[in-house]
Amino acid sequence: MNNMSPEVALNRISPELRPLLCSVVRNGRVGLDSTNCLRITDLKTGCTSLTPGPCCDRFKLHIPYAGETLKWDIIFNAQDPELPPDFIFGEDAEFLPEPSELPHLVQWDAEDPECLLQLVKELIQQYHQYQCHRLRESSRLLFEYDSLLEDPDYGRSLEIYAGHKNSWTGEFSARFLLKLPVDFSNIPVYLLKDTALDPGEDVALLFVSFEDAEATQVFPKLYLSPSIEHALGGSSALHIPAFPSGGCLIDYVPQVCQLLTNKVQYVIQGYHKRREYIAAFLSHFGMGVVEYDAEGFTKLTLLLMWKDFCVLVHVDLPLYFPRDQPTLTFQSVYHFTSSGQLYSQVQKSYPYSPRWDGNEMAKRAKPQFSATRQAFCSGLVIK
């Protein structure tokens, strides 16, 4: 029941209410965490059991918010589909939004398929304000919030979840979810091409959990959309610094932002550098180029000849080129190893400097190839 696909859920909904829910289920993006879309579960009906289906008109809506998932009950009446729904806000029994702040409720239009989605967004806004209000229980955390609010970069994309872990005796805790203002638009498309992972917006979210009201136990976490994570080299490549004790968010968040930005810049730069490198090699070794990666510029294969002796040279450019040195692989076209592979020799260390530009690297590659080729051939002859 909980893993019901959206289409199955929609089929069970009363036909008059279906359009409203379509937009929620298919296009519903509420809040900062747009990777998790809205989900509906626990479909029930308010009609008698004799009513022929489909007639479900009440369900639970799962809304991701500040690292938590809100489970709100939405109650329609299938017999009166033109009427606006009612809500039960789960465990937040004290959350009571002001109806006048919900224009889509006051002027509910059942003909507008987006009406329910808009109403939910308005409710989330009210919920956010309610949570911020709850921060007043802790002056320290309230300070954190206020300081972030003042900064235009972070204040607008902030979700707060505050409360007691345990209703009676638990510590007051709060969760901050911030959208980091990092520009991912210049990341080369080839890195993001795996759309199956994430068809949506590229976003980096910083989740900070304050386990106590005095901010002595703070646990930050960085969430990236899957394509960004892949583009930056996987989750292992990115480590954010621990939250400094006694520090505050307004200092820490920019640090993380900078780190992320640097990383992105590096990746972008690397791409351009590789492109430059390949271009230079193409111009220097023109006729000798067998193939090269024209999208990511990560690979280049050359065919070199010396006295009627041909050698293939594969150049592999790493992700963090030019920081990391390219790998050269010399491969024979005549000889096989015992395992049936073409005989090859890898060379990782050779004179190299990341400060050279592409042209310079191509120029210095020639004598390097000659020297290596001689040694390679000699080695082959011996074999």
> Which residues bind to other proteins, rule: CB under 8 A?
44-49, 51, 58, 73, 75, 77-80, 83-84, 86-89, 93, 96-97, 99-100, 102, 105-108
Tokens 């082959």 correspond to what residue? 380
Nearest CA among 307, 306, 315, 310 for reference residue 282 = 315
- Please report how close the Cβ of residue 318 comes to other proteins at its closest, in angstroms: 56
Task: Compare residues 98 and 308 and give the one whose CB is closer to other proteins.
Answer: 98
Task: Compare residues 93 and 381 and give the one whose CB is closer to other proteins.
Answer: 93
Residue type, 148: L
Element (H, E) at 134: helix 115-134
- Please report how close the Cβ of residue 167 comes to other proteins at its closest, in angstroms: 12
| 3-class DSSP assignment, residue 374 | helix
Task: Compare residues 7 and 82 and give the one whose CB is closer to other proteins.
Answer: 82
Residue 122 burial (CB < 10 Å; 0-12/13-18/19+)? middle
- Please report how close the Cβ of residue 100 comes to other proteins at its closest, in angstroms: 7
Measure Cα distances from 62 to 41, 65, 329 in Å: 8, 9, 53
- Residues facing 173 on adjacent strands: 163
Task: Compare residues 37 and 102 and give the one whose CB is closer to other proteins.
Answer: 102
Q: CA–CA separation, 141 vs 175, rounded Å?
A: 10
358-382 and 249-285 helices cross at what angle (nearest 10)?
60
Q: How many CA atoms lie within 13 A of 41 on its CB side?
A: 12
- Please report how close the Cβ of residue 58 comes to other proteins at its closest, in angstroms: 6
Task: Compare residues 107 and 235 and give the one whose CB is closer to other proteins.
Answer: 107
Measure Cα distances from 40 to 9, 57, 213 in Å: 7, 12, 34
- Please report how close the Cβ of residue 254 comes to other proteins at its closest, in angstroms: 39
- Please report how close the Cβ of residue 180 comes to other proteins at its closest, in angstroms: 34
Task: Compare residues 96 and 333 and give the one whose CB is closer to other proteins.
Answer: 96
